[in-house]
Structure 1
Amino acid sequence: MDHEAVAAWRAAGEARDAAAAVAALSSDVRLISPITEQFTFDGRERVRTLLEVALAAIDEITYTDQVAEGRTVALFYSGRIGTTRLYEAQRLRLADDGLIREITLFVRPLPALTRLMTRLGPELARRNGRPGLARLVPLTAGMLHSMADTGEKRFMPKAAPR
């Protein structure tokens, strides 16, 4: 199967170009959040909004691997949010026309995911007309990030194999 849309998606991500990334998507695309099962981003416009915010928050996106079987493609990249390294796996499912129909995201380590929450949440809330929530999200996500980051730096090293 031709993976032209996947190549365009990768190039757009590395260039941090949300408009080019959206061009690789089917009109009925669904993006499944790495943060919560409470919602998905359905349709090009909602995914565009997320991509604009995410690509502004994540620096140095470099795709490292691609694995494909039929209409399913797995991509892997590394990036950075401030000083926090981020690694993401993306499962892409392609429509009959070769455009990306479904995106499922997986982010690690936990402090990268919680840092991402602190960056994306407020701006997404603002764009959805929820200014009060935009002020609340940094507080709640910030507390979660503080716990995850402290655990990563102080406690997990003590449990490492010797």
Structure 2
Amino acid sequence: MSKTLHSAAATVASWRAAAEGGDVDAAVACLSRDVVLSSPLTEQFRLEGTDQLRDFLTSAFTAVEDIRFHTQTGEGDAYALFYRARVGSQPFEEAQLLRLDDEARIKEITLFGRPMPALTALMITLGPELARRQGRRGIAALMRASATPIHAMVTSGDRRVVPLTRPAAQRT
């Protein structure tokens, strides 16, 4: 195995351990200085650089609890990681596409999450927390107020309406 591949594997292992332990400093140590993160919630939200990622990870590790990775695939400069966790009382699963630079540091993170009730729970916890960390309390309150009805509708629909669409043999 070449040094770069070994370093890439070590970076990914360190990233996983940092996320599972909620260790922001260890996670940031895995990142390139010009890292870019694409949100799973909107195209309007991108984070760039380690300073922005530090704030995001601090908020994310507060909002997303009990992270446990269950699957990893990839090699060279691209890896896909999958974990299960909780956002409040909602079960949450996330896929992360990581791209590494020539120094085996993470340069790009693209996130994908499910199910929808967990994503809306994330909207009302992570977004406002990140805005508060940036000193934008008014925006934090606005984000929470605008996302709360969406979360209520999605959660209610998931519990009451979606089960009605299951095949008759699966309804309980």
Task: Report the TM-score, using the length of structure 2 for normalisation.
Answer: 0.91
Distance of 1:81 and 1:39 partners within structure 2: 20
Residue 128 of structure 1 deviates from its aligned partner by 2.3
Q: Indicate yes or no: 2:80 matched with 1:80.
A: no
Alpha-carbon deviations, 1:15-37, whole Å to 9, x = none?
01111100000111000011110
Match in the other structure for 2:48: 42
Alpha-carbon deviations, 1:42-61, whole Å to 9, x = none?
00010110000000111110
Q: Indicate yes or no: 2:104 matched with 1:98.
A: yes
2:133 aligned to which of 99, 118, 127 = 127
Match in the other structure for 1:18: 24
Distance of 1:147 and 1:55 partners within structure 2: 26
Runs of 4+ in 1 over 3 A off after TM superposition: none
Distance of 1:81 and 1:128 partners within structure 2: 22
Residue 88 of structure 1 deviates from its aligned partner by 0.2
Residue 143 of structure 1 deviates from its aligned partner by 0.8
Match in the other structure for 1:53: 59
Distance of 1:149 and 1:98 partners within structure 2: 40
Alpha-carbon deviations, 1:107-158, whole Å to 9, x = none?
1000000000110111211222322111111111111111110111111100
Unaligned 5+ segments in structure 2 are none
Task: Kindly provide the amino acid, as one letter, of the partner of residue 29 in structure 2.
Answer: A
Q: Indicate yes or no: 2:116 matched with 1:110.
A: yes
Identity %: 49
Unaligned 5+ segments in structure 1 are none
Secondary structure of the residue aligned to 1:11 is helix
Q: Indicate yes or no: 2:20 matched with 1:7.
A: no
Residue 14 of structure 1 deviates from its aligned partner by 0.4
Distance of 1:39 and 1:108 partners within structure 2: 18
Distance of 1:51 and 1:124 partners within structure 2: 9
Residue 39 of structure 1 deviates from its aligned partner by 2.2
The number of aligned residues is: 162
**Aligned-pair Cα RMSD in Å:** 1.0
The structure number with the bigger radius of gyration is 2
Task: Report the TM-score, using the length of structure 1 for normalisation.
Answer: 0.97
Residue 62 of structure 1 deviates from its aligned partner by 0.2
Residue 93 of structure 1 deviates from its aligned partner by 0.3
